[in-house]
Structure 1
Amino acid sequence: MGAVGLVAVLTWSGAACSVIPTGDKAIAVDNERKSNPLGDPYARVIAMPPSPSWTAEEVVTGFRAAMASVDDPRREVARKYLTDDFAGKWNPLSGVTVYKQEEYVPAQEGEKETRVTLKGTVTAMIDQDGRYWPKSTTLNEPFTLVKGAGGWRISSAPDGLMLSEADVDRAYLKVDLYFLDSAWKGLVADQVRVPIDPSSNFAKTTVERLLKGPSSLLRKAVNSAFRPGTELIDVTTDDNRVVVDLTKPVDSDRIAPMSAQLAATLSGLTNGGWGFEIRVNGELYYSDTALQIAAQEQSDFDPWMTPGEVRPYYLAGGALWQLGNDKVGRQIQVGEGEMGDTRIRPAISNQGQVAALSKDRTKVSVAPLTVGGKWQDRFTGHDLTPPSWDRYDTLWTVDRPSDHSSTVLRTGNDGKQYRVTVPDLDTVYVKALKVARDGVHVAVVVKNGTGEEEVEIGTIVGRGGDTRITDLQSVVSADGGQTIKDIAWKDGKSLYVLTGKSELLEASVTDEPKSLASNARIETITALDGSLLAGAVDDNGNRQVLSWNRGSAKWEAMVKEGGSTDFTEKGPSSPAYPLG
């Protein structure tokens, strides 16, 4: 409140209450729309126009507050803070600068013109697609003001919206949109921020954004089952179902992918407990039958959405083992024999194969997880990274001919080897590469131009000989000579990073890294949704597999060898989940 504040109350999206300023007070009035169970509470704010008596600094403060009002999507009140000429040029839709404010630095106020500078830290940018890009740069933005008959008005300011972190949390909905991979068999998450629309419910706002298609990072890598030009008429509820009314049906062979897209996208808003129904122009999808979608349709379409009971593998005594529910391992016969002491860092495919790196790092070999199969060399090179499978049964590695060059390679069951086009990696040293379970996102550990190590996440585009990795962006930097020990995908959105100090971080392209735990014994990691395992070694070289207990926030011994959890010199190491 106050001269340049916002009127605010807690309300529901599309709910029965809004706020109207009346002089120096705000009163609540009923909306015609009824409360929708798909809406979440949010702080509804009403922007206040400037006063002729305000100082230049108060006008800038009021303008910033008006930019944060979701109840004024066209920012008409915010434009009242601008001169007529600048109001015609200012484009609030060009993007969002997210900041932490520290101070105003006002210039000496003249009679007709002055400048107020906003100082602080830029923490992120939100582009026109809704992609949230974390960053950390100095904020030093000047606002030029001129004085007229109505008081101070802004004649020059940064384009787009400038919102504080609290403004963004209040004004934007964080959603995961789901699209189809290049084979139309799996789902890929596109994490975006969607502006809250007070006249709509959250589900309608989200589906409208889904129909617009993926963000620029994924546009060339994914598909959508909806026909081009399909629009949303409404999203309502009926008999414990979310009813989505579209202007066009999808093609008959796209019904299953479309159903999975919708169920996955809306499950976060419905807490997974609502089914869905699709209508077209208000009518049943078929002439006499409704198209109904199960609440967890996405899991039936793509099992990796909720993988369920998947048991990890590990090495011990030169053999490959699989961990049982009782935490006791059973030995797996691989190929013509055991893994042996010459093969390390196993990677398990989606189709019952194991790949391993030779100890001298010059070969990557593959064998079926069956008795009698043979080990076959898939890659030979100068210095190869540990292998990584993708969901298409394709194997990846990186060859490092020198400390300043890397070549990304991939091969399928046909035995053909392809060089993947990644110009950003040609002249750097790649320490590791891991493909996410969605088959589209990929993470690499590189030494940058200054010799520091960092983790980057990019997008896989194309298939076969036309495969390339694009849009690599740094998500974790190991400053001060630190190293990155290992990386492991949690799912298609989040990545675990193990630093040289054995600090464990969780990172993504849309959030700042979060610190989870530290343990000096940890050497390698693998993950699958809520499960996180680590290969550890003590000062005497004894090994064990550890599991992260989120409840107690502690690492616990995972494998029982002969009824004991003691370390042994040839004890379990290098845990690996399939596609992990």
Structure 2
Amino acid sequence: MTTTRRLGTRVAMTRTGSLGAGAVVTRTRWLGVVVAVTVVVAVGSTGCAVIPVTGPHSVADAGGGDPLSKPFQRMIAIRPQKGWSPAQLIRGLQAAMAAYPDDPKILPSYLTPNALAKWDPSGPVNVIEDGFEVLPPGPRDGSDAVLKVSLKARWVAKINEDDSYVPTIGDWDGGAFELVKDAEDNYRVNDLPRGLLLTASDVARAYRATNLYYLSRNPQDPRLVADRVWLRLKPTESFAQTILERLIEPPTSALQGGAVTTSFPPGTQVKSITHGDDRVVVNLSGGLDPVRDESLLAQIRYSLNRNEVAKGRTIEVQVDGEVYGLDQPNSDERWLDDSSDTAYYVNRGAVHYLGKDGPAGTVQGPAGEPREGYSGFALSREGDGLIAARTSTGISVAGLTQEGRWQEVIRGADLTAPTWHRDGSLWTYDRQNAALLRYDPAGGGGAQRVTFPLKGLDVTRFRIARDGVRVAVTTGKNTVQIGAFIEGAGGTQPGNFHMLTTTEIGEKILDLAWEDADHLLVLIENKAGQILNQVNVGDGETVGVPLKEALGSLAAQGDRVLAATDDGAKVVELNQDQKTWTAKIESDGGAPLFPLG
């Protein structure tokens, strides 16, 4: 795969040395306009890499000895220098913003008392591309005493106050900087936009994309649900501490409103995290139930291990120094998606099993018989044994047994392909009547309308993730939105929608499929051919998948990605190298599918 959204690489002048406890960093000798020093450190440790002074170059991460930490590069900003031009001052200010969370003392030296009194560092962090340009200033009063300076830059993303990362498109237009001269005839910033402005390399250097794990709302079928955040590395604490401090807080806005819950009661605090060769000890305090809570241990385990922290070690959780529970490295995976990876495909309206090396027989009952006019097939959880399909008059369901019969359960002339929730309910969107419909096979009665915030848009697909929490919706030909099931006035309903990705003008989305609860596969067609992207639904990170031939439909489950060619004849599977495909069926193939998703 090829990653198509990158954070870039910050180029900076550096000095030889290391940054340990009590270290003193001396001022560098200036070569051109150098406004900051990057020092490579490991969070929570005193180990550092030695960086030679050889001019502008890319600085790689250094390894650290602390298994609870992540290596990172710390930005050391300097105060403005005498005689700096407006462009030099703005670049120095931006570097001071990059260093501000670790060292807030430098940035005020760039500001007048007026600006310092008004400027607020809180709010979203704006991220722009590295190669930003400081435009020539324009005078504000007919002289060079008061200047207005703007930036020309591409806006990459914003990091919200809840630590969510939101990709953006277009030019950054966050406002201008007003510069005035001080008593010594040096420029200082008298007015500036609110918040911190970082480059993509600043973010790559000081932040880490992190999955926090919360719980789905169904106590009978608890799942861990990943919430993607971008956490800033701190030189004063281990990354494990940073993760757990954030985990005990509410999830990001994408999963609020009752989409998920947590086993951490209000008031929980992380007192300490220590480690030995084979054990990590997490000491908590607060109103935790004295009875061991397996879900709390699972939240801690996956939030640490899935972010490559404490991996392979026993995690001992304490409450006020008393042992609460042990979590072994080989603990079961039941908290994550347990959906079957049994693969199927549809040929001439009949559903077939897809074995490792090709066709493996048809399913039982009428679903295994050829049938005209049925499309958009969807399988329930394997234990439920139901299949749904769209017809010209509605959605029909059949059991995968010899006694099963097709029965129309939702009527409508213009419905999206059906999708199953892991609770056993069936969903579709009625485009003609702008209504989201839910049918419960176990509840009796017909389909029920569900409150839906996107009903005014041209909804073309509605797909539920296997964890039963997130939903993906396509609107029109080229936009994907992500939401989650929340608690509304009328009960459980989709909400919290935000745009995940959109295509260029002239392109259209041909199909999409949930790969797992965190990633969506999106098949796009343009004049040059097709593009297949894997998109992280938490932060929009997009990875391109090479294509060998044109595809018509997708299905995925974990590591397995299947596709039918656009003529429907072949079924191909993506190999483990994520670059090449192998044909599973050379002819008489059809649309592949997995249970749920």
Question: TM-score band, normalised by the shorter chain?
Answer: 0.7 to 0.9
Q: Which has the higher contact order (CA 8 A, sep 6+)?
A: 2
Q: Look up the match of 2:25.
A: none
Q: Look up the match of 2:9.
A: none
Selected match of 1:459 from 470, 480, 484: 484
Q: Which amino acid aligns with 2:345?
A: Y
Identity of aligned residues (%): 32
The C-alpha deviation readout for 1:406-439, integer Å capped at 9, x for no partner, is: 3211122213532221232x22322211111121
The C-alpha deviation readout for 1:489-524, integer Å capped at 9, x for no partner, is: 111221111123442122234125433234554111
Q: Look up the match of 2:577.
A: 551
Map of 1:53-452 to 2, 5 A cutoff?
A: 53-69=83-99, 72-73=101-102, 75-100=104-129, 101-108=131-138, 110-140=143-173, 141-149=175-183, 151-184=186-219, 185-220=222-257, 221-248=259-286, 250-251=288-289, 255-267=293-305, 268-270=307-309, 272-285=311-324, 291-295=325-329, 297=331, 299-304=333-338, 310-334=341-365, 338=369, 340-350=371-381, 351-360=383-392, 362-401=393-432, 406-412=434-440, 413-416=442-445, 417-424=447-454, 426-447=455-476, 452=477
Q: Which amino acid aligns with 1:176?
A: N
Q: Which amino acid aligns with 2:236?
A: S
SS in 2 for 1:329: strand
Counting strand residues as a fraction of each chain, which structure ranks higher? 1
The C-alpha deviation readout for 1:461-492, integer Å capped at 9, x for no partner, is: 13895232223222232333432211101112
SS in 2 for 1:139: coil
SS in 1 for 2:110: coil
Residue pair 1:4, 1:48 contacting (<8 A) in 2 also: no
| Alpha-carbon distance in 1 for matches of 2:118, 2:292 | 43
| Alpha-carbon distance in 2 for matches of 1:68, 1:90 | 16
Query: What's the TM-score, normalizing by structure 1?
Result: 0.86
| Alpha-carbon distance in 2 for matches of 1:113, 1:147 | 7
Q: Look up the match of 2:7.
A: none
Classify 1:57/1:248 alpha carbon distance in 2 versus 1 (closer, same or farther; 3 Å).
same
| Alpha-carbon distance in 2 for matches of 1:484, 1:504 | 10
Deviation at 1:201, TM superposition (A): 0.9
Classify 1:465/1:368 alpha carbon distance in 2 versus 1 (closer, same or farther; 3 Å).
farther
Deviation at 1:248, TM superposition (A): 2.4
Q: Which amino acid aligns with 2:202?
A: D
| Alpha-carbon distance in 1 for matches of 2:566, 2:183 | 75
Residue pair 1:115, 1:145 contacting (<8 A) in 2 also: yes
| Alpha-carbon distance in 2 for matches of 1:154, 1:446 | 44
Deviation at 1:297, TM superposition (A): 4.1
SS in 2 for 1:260: helix
Q: Which amino acid aligns with 2:189?
A: I
Q: Which amino acid aligns with 1:399?
A: D
Classify 1:18/1:479 alpha carbon distance in 2 versus 1 (closer, same or farther; 3 Å).
closer
Deviation at 1:258, TM superposition (A): 1.0
Deviation at 1:169, TM superposition (A): 0.7
Classify 1:302/1:513 alpha carbon distance in 2 versus 1 (closer, same or farther; 3 Å).
closer
| Alpha-carbon distance in 1 for matches of 2:400, 2:189 | 69
| Alpha-carbon distance in 2 for matches of 1:133, 1:336 | 43
The C-alpha deviation readout for 1:363-391, integer Å capped at 9, x for no partner, is: 22222323323333321112111111122
Q: Which amino acid aligns with 2:496?
A: D
The C-alpha deviation readout for 1:295-327, integer Å capped at 9, x for no partner, is: 3547133343xx6x7221112354322223343
Deviation at 1:193, TM superposition (A): 0.6
| Alpha-carbon distance in 2 for matches of 1:336, 1:45 | 62
| Alpha-carbon distance in 2 for matches of 1:138, 1:177 | 31
| Alpha-carbon distance in 1 for matches of 2:483, 2:88 | 43
Q: Look up the match of 2:40.
A: 10
The C-alpha deviation readout for 1:327-370, integer Å capped at 9, x for no partner, is: 3412210368636334323211123323322442x222222323
The C-alpha deviation readout for 1:25-46, integer Å capped at 9, x for no partner, is: xxxxxxxxx9421212211221
SS in 2 for 1:217: helix
Q: Which amino acid aligns with 2:154?
A: T
Q: Which amino acid aligns with 1:200?
A: E
| Alpha-carbon distance in 1 for matches of 2:116, 2:225 | 40
Residue pair 2:564, 2:589 contacting (<8 A) in 1 also: yes
SS in 1 for 2:204: helix
Q: Which amino acid aligns with 1:180?
A: L
Residue pair 2:278, 2:314 contacting (<8 A) in 1 also: yes
Residue pair 2:563, 2:572 contacting (<8 A) in 1 also: yes
SS in 1 for 2:116: helix
Query: What's the TM-score, normalizing by structure 2?
Result: 0.84
| CA-atom RMSD in angstroms | 2.7
Q: Which runs of 5+ in 2 are unaligned?
A: 1-12, 14-29, 51-63
SS in 1 for 2:171: strand
Classify 1:188/1:517 alpha carbon distance in 2 versus 1 (closer, same or farther; 3 Å).
same
Classify 1:549/1:122 alpha carbon distance in 2 versus 1 (closer, same or farther; 3 Å).
same
Residue pair 1:172, 1:195 contacting (<8 A) in 2 also: yes
Q: Which amino acid aligns with 1:80?
A: S
SS in 2 for 1:246: strand
Residue pair 2:348, 2:370 contacting (<8 A) in 1 also: no
Classify 1:463/1:82 alpha carbon distance in 2 versus 1 (closer, same or farther; 3 Å).
closer
Residue pair 1:39, 1:201 contacting (<8 A) in 2 also: yes
Classify 1:302/1:520 alpha carbon distance in 2 versus 1 (closer, same or farther; 3 Å).
closer
Classify 1:250/1:63 alpha carbon distance in 2 versus 1 (closer, same or farther; 3 Å).
same
| Alpha-carbon distance in 2 for matches of 1:130, 1:523 | 37
Residue pair 1:409, 1:419 contacting (<8 A) in 2 also: yes
Q: Which amino acid aligns with 2:146?
A: E
- Could you tell which deviates more after superposition, 47-56 or 521-530? 47-56
Classify 1:358/1:470 alpha carbon distance in 2 versus 1 (closer, same or farther; 3 Å).
closer
Q: Look up the match of 2:26.
A: none
- Could you tell which deviates more after superposition, 378-387 or 170-179? 378-387
Selected match of 2:501 from 465, 473, 476: 476
- Could you tell which deviates more after superposition, 216-225 or 548-557? 548-557
Residue pair 1:260, 1:297 contacting (<8 A) in 2 also: no
Q: Look up the match of 1:494.
A: 519
Deviation at 1:97, TM superposition (A): 0.5
- Could you tell which deviates more after superposition, 548-557 or 226-235? 548-557
| Alpha-carbon distance in 2 for matches of 1:367, 1:470 | 30
Q: Which runs of 5+ in 1 are unaligned?
A: 21-33, 286-290, 560-565
| Alpha-carbon distance in 1 for matches of 2:494, 2:161 | 23
Residue pair 1:475, 1:513 contacting (<8 A) in 2 also: no
Deviation at 1:205, TM superposition (A): 0.5
| Alpha-carbon distance in 2 for matches of 1:83, 1:212 | 36
Q: Which amino acid aligns with 1:278?
A: V
Residue pair 1:75, 1:92 contacting (<8 A) in 2 also: no
Residue pair 1:353, 1:366 contacting (<8 A) in 2 also: no
